């Protein structure tokens, strides 16, 4: 199962898991994007879309009933990818932004994983992968709320990995750097010169380019598979070397 499945990174994760033979249940609140993703997938792809607003507890709980029936009592892979990022100075970060950011970036992953524990336990080899961020590891002006939510996600990942290890449930996080998606472009567009903002971001990356959604998806697919059978409690940084400076 993949949340935020129809976004830039989410859709790449869906494709990567389908290529590995998975049947993917994709959760996203954007019905149009879900339809576009379905149409772009290869013929025969086993993809089941579910429209749900994960930040809305009532909507999430309602959808879990439908999802639990579709999973047939087993979930091998859970990717908590849905997230919210907004550039805003700390002194302008109101309670509404704080609540909305934690609701989607942390609370949704926590509650969804807790709700699906019976299905994850039934797998016998389940993998939970939380999509955090480089900004859980470094600070950046204008993202204090986002940094806090993603930092919480990594701390929870480590704690849960230790707690669930005896049940053969692995829990890892992936920390993307700047990934070339419409979401990142909208961030660049908040600056007076979006081209200059993009160029400055690229200049801060030792590998000299923005990441691609497939860069994240390939790491998620690895962590979901048997090749990572001895890997749990980690935070994989996929940022072109940005945080290594």
Q: Which residues are catalytic?
A: 146
Per DSSP, helices labelled H in the chain are 8-19, 31-40, 57-70, 95-102, 108-115, 117-123, 144-164, 182-188, 194-203, 213-224
Could you tell me the sign of the dihedral formed by the alpha carbons of 151, 153, 156, 161, in that order? negative
* Cα 26 from Cα 54, distance rounded (Å): 12
Residues whose CB falls within 8 Å of the CB of residue 109, separated by 6 or more in sequence, listed in order: 3, 80, 82, 130, 153, 156
Could you tell me the sign of the dihedral formed by the alpha carbons of 37, 43, 46, 48, in that order? positive
**Residue of 60, 185, 67, 69 whose CA lies nearest to 110:** 60
């Amino acid at each position: 199962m993949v949340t935020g499945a129809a976004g830039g990174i989410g859709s790449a994760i869906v494709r990567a898991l389908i290529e590995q033979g998975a049947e993917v249940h994709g959760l996203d609140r954007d019905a149009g994007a879900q339809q576009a993703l379905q149409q772009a997938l290869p013929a025969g792809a086993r993809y089941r879309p579910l429209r749900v607003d994960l930040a809305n507890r009532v909507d999430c709980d309602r959808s879990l009933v439908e999802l639990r029936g579709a999973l047939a009592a087993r979930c091998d892979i859970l990717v908590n990818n849905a997230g919210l990022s907004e550039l805003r100075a700390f002194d302008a970060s109101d309670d509404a932004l704080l609540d909305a950011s934690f609701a989607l970036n942390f609370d949704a992953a926590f509650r969804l994983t807790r709700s699906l524990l019976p299905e994850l336990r039934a797998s016998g080899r389940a993998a939970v992968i939380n999509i955090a961020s480089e900004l859980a590891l470094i600070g950046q002006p204008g993202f204090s709320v986002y940094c806090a939510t993603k930092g919480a996600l990594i701390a929870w990942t480590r704690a849960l990995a230790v707690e669930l290890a005896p049940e053969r449930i692995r829990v890892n996080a992936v920390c993307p750097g700047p990934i070339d998606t419409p979401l990142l472009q909208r961030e660049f567009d908040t600056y007076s010169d979006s081209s200059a903002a993009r160029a400055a971001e690229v200049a801060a990356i030792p590998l000299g380019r923005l990441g691609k959604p497939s860069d994240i998806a390939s790491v998620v697919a690895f962590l979901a598979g048997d090749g990572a059978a001895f890997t749990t409690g980690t935070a994989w940084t996929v940022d072109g070397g940005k945080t290594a400076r």
